[in-house]
Amino acid sequence: MEKYVIHGGNRLLGEVTVSGAKNAALAILPAAILSDEPCIIENVPNISDIDYSIKILNHMGVEVKMINHSTLRIDPRKLRHPVVEYDLAKNMRASYYFLGALLGKTKTAKVSLPGGCDLGSRPIDQHLKGFEALGAKVEIDRGMVCLEGDHLLGAKVDFDVVTVGATINIMLAAVKAEGLTILENAAKEPHIVDLANFLNSMGANIIGAGTDVIKIRGVESLHGTQYSVIPDQIEAGTFMVMAAATGGDVLIKNVIPKHLEAVTSKLQKIGAVVEEYDDSIRVVGTGRLEKTTIKTMPHPGFPTDMQPQITTLLTIANGTSMVTESIFDNRFKYVDELRRMGADITVNGKVAVVEGVSRLTGASVKATDLRAGAALIIAGLAASGTTEIEDVFHVERGYENIENKLKGLGADIKKIVTPDSMVLPKVL
Ligand code: UD1
């Protein structure tokens, strides 16, 4: 078992460089199999979700070479096994992007229903509706989603909810379908634009990504490309909150400030200083911050993937804040852990009421999912005393080298590996 031990109270000071965007890379790696030639993909984050994607690609016969720590060469020419079994799919949500990519490439796909963070019910009905609209036959057989589509035809797909995953999956399937596909009520997240740019650089014809109507005119074939993934706006946002929570002064480099507008404006509203530059953002924490109201929304609204981090910051702000989670059913599980550190939070359904306290105190806590883990790190950095965070594998799914990046900013954080035999069994 691995845990982080944090001695809180240090102000974060200095510069940190953000890695490539997890959610963009997790769409772009499967998309590379649509090409008839090898693709070079740069600025890929070194995180465990990417390791899982590479394993899935290898298992299909796709060759993946690491050219340097953030550049991959993906050669799909020997792809022969269009299947993703449960053992490979269970670790991450984005394994379902292989459905769209394989359907587009080989006209058939069998992918186990996905794993990923447990944030409540996460249906895939909109993905299946989109595949069917393109003419694919869809079946669920013993936990596997099975798609067959000998001749995919462009179609109009009007999503019932705004969904990042289904927007990406149907783009992947439609890029080589015959004729025009129109996605209505599409998600507008930066990684959707990044995927469209990547596919277009391979010869696809996609317009409108970043708006709620995306038009995809099918092409017969796609060629190799060299492409650099956008920076991770959630990693950047997490460092912004860390700087504010510790009263620090941090220059966060390799960011696209436009992607962070919702986070920037909230931080400014509660009293932090945020300065935007071309490709960096500086955050200065200025004493005790003020209460606010947050409601998570699809992009360009406040991102649900920043909700646990900002809620943690509000636990030490002055006054009573309200946080409404409107994307996922069950994204407040980390609150029990924060309470162990002295936070005063009451959750009622999708709304958390946060009464600011003057200080959190270190405690032993457990990461329940990726962003919950990031939130507990923020709490540990801001708290007095020592915080031990268990189950850090969740954090390493999505944050590259977070321990060293934080040490570089002056945090007192260490990863400790405890042999499993020393872990006492749970008393039920
Ligand atoms: C993606 C991101 C995740 C982020 C989320 C919302 C990846 C790999 N993950 O997840 O980090 O938190 O977007 O920004 O990019 N829904 C349906 N039916 C469907 C699909 C979704 O009802 O077929 C609902 C979901 O239950 C949820 C909402 O739509 O309430 C949004 O989900 P979606 O945008 O699809 O999230 P993911 O793609 O799973």
Kindly state the DSSP code that residue 84 receives in the 8-state scheme.
E
The residue behind tokens 């953030």 is 70
Beta pairing class for 249-253 and 213-217: unpaired
Clarify whether 39 is annotated catalytic: no
Residue nearest to atom 33 of ligand 1 (CA): 163
Identify the residue with better confidence: 419 or 349: 349
Helices 22-31 and 164-174 cross at an angle (nearest 10°) of: 20
Report residues whose beta carbon is within 6 angstroms of any ligand 1 atom: 23, 26, 93-94, 122-127, 161, 163-166, 187, 304-305, 327-328
Q: Which one from 117, 128, 147, 365 is the annotated catalytic residue?
A: 117
Residue nearest to atom 13 of ligand 1 (CA): 164
Q: Quick one: pLDDT band at residue 142, thresholds 50, 70, 90? A: confident
Please compute the mean of the pLDDT values over residues 47-69 and round it to a whole number.
96
Q: Over 80: is that where the pLDDT of 328 sits?
A: yes
CA of 328 to the centre of ligand 1 (A): 8
Q: What is the pLDDT of residue 362?
A: 97
Which pair of structure tokens corresponds to residue 53? 């994607």
Q: Quick one: pLDDT band at residue 119, thresholds 50, 70, 90? A: low
What does the domain layout of the chain look like in residue ranges? 2-18+231-417, 22-228
Q: What is the pLDDT of residue 24?
A: 98
Q: For a ligand 1 pocket test, name from 163, 185, 295, 369 the mutation site with the most ligand atoms within 8 angstroms of its C-beta.
A: 163
Q: How is domain 22-228 classified at the CATH fold level?
A: UDP-n-acetylglucosamine1-carboxyvinyl-transferase; Chain (3.65.10)
Q: Over 50: is that where the pLDDT of 229 sits?
A: yes
Per DSSP, what are the bridge partners of residue 347? Answer: 352
Architecture of domain 2-18+231-417: Alpha-beta prism (3.65)
* Beta carbons within 10 angstroms of residue 185's beta carbon: 17
* Beta carbons within 10 angstroms of residue 392's beta carbon: 22
